[in-house]
Amino acid sequence: MSTLDSLNGVAFSVFGEDIKWADMTGNLLGLAALALGWRRSVAVWPAQLLSGAVLVVAYAAAGLTGGVGKQLLVVGVSVWGWTQWTRGRRDSGAIRVRFATWAERAWLAAATAAGTAAVALLFLAFPSLSWNPWPDAYLFTGSVAAMVAMARGWVEFWIAWLAVDAVGVPLAYSSDLKFSALVYVVYGVVVLLGLRAWWTASRRPAPPAAGRAEALEGAAV
């Protein structure tokens, strides 16, 4: 049996529902990444990168091309976010977060809407790419938009992720990715806690140069 076959194999069954290895492993890594993001740890990005790589296998097996494309972009954005946070911590001594400006919010919303429409039209033109074009397209662009906001240190990242969860749960369940559906629900709880933590952190003044060493203790190496 190949590695891909193993990842797409059934790990266990619960109440008659099969839980697949790739679905479970990728989403547990994604959940760990969210928890690390909550703590503003740079380690969030390698964890997200690994999660995306494993979930490519899960979405490909489920026939969700948008999900595959999303996870490939997740890998790319993770590399970019990793460099952004590493540079930010080096320059200021800590990962600083803030609310986006109205112009930045408008740009993010417009890019998400335009991206969703463009990807959905592609799926509609080529039906073999996705059996559920509009939700699949939204997950594709919404997740990438959320990660871009996270890399920028915008508190709105968490709100964007909640919007993705609202579509991700029913789509994952109907696509036979039962563990993804369950983890999306757990994501919702972690996202609310992360939103509260970043909201609070955004109100704190930047630490003085002398206090940067102490500030680093708030973000894992």
Q: Which of 159, 175, 146, 169 is CA-nearest to residue 68?
A: 175
Is residue 94 a part of any domain in this protein? yes
Is residue 36 a part of any domain in this protein? yes
Residue type for 37, please? G
Residue of 93 and 45 predicted with greater confidence: 45
Helix (H) or strand (E) segment spanning residue 10: strand 10-14
Q: Is the pLDDT of residue 16 over 90?
A: no
With H, G, I as helix, E, B as strand and everything else as coil, classify residue 104.
helix
CA contacts within 13 A on the Cβ side of 105: 10
The DSSP call for residue 21 is H
Domains of the chain: total? 1
Is residue 221 a part of any domain in this protein? no
Residue type for 28, please? L
Taking every pair of C-alpha atoms in the chain, what is the biggest distance, in angstroms? 58
> pLDDT tens digits for 128-154?
777 788 888 888 889 889 889 998 999
Question: Can you give the residue range of the structural domain that contains 83?
Answer: 3-216
Q: What is the DSSP string of 42-53?
A: TTHHHHHHHHHH
With H, G, I as helix, E, B as strand and everything else as coil, classify residue 201.
helix
Is residue 98 a part of any domain in this protein? yes
- pTM of the predicted model over 0.75: no
> pLDDT tens digits for 82-121?
998 888 777 666 678 999 999 999 999 999 999 999 989 9
Q: Is the pLDDT of residue 1 over 50?
A: no
Q: Is the pLDDT of residue 215 over 60?
A: no
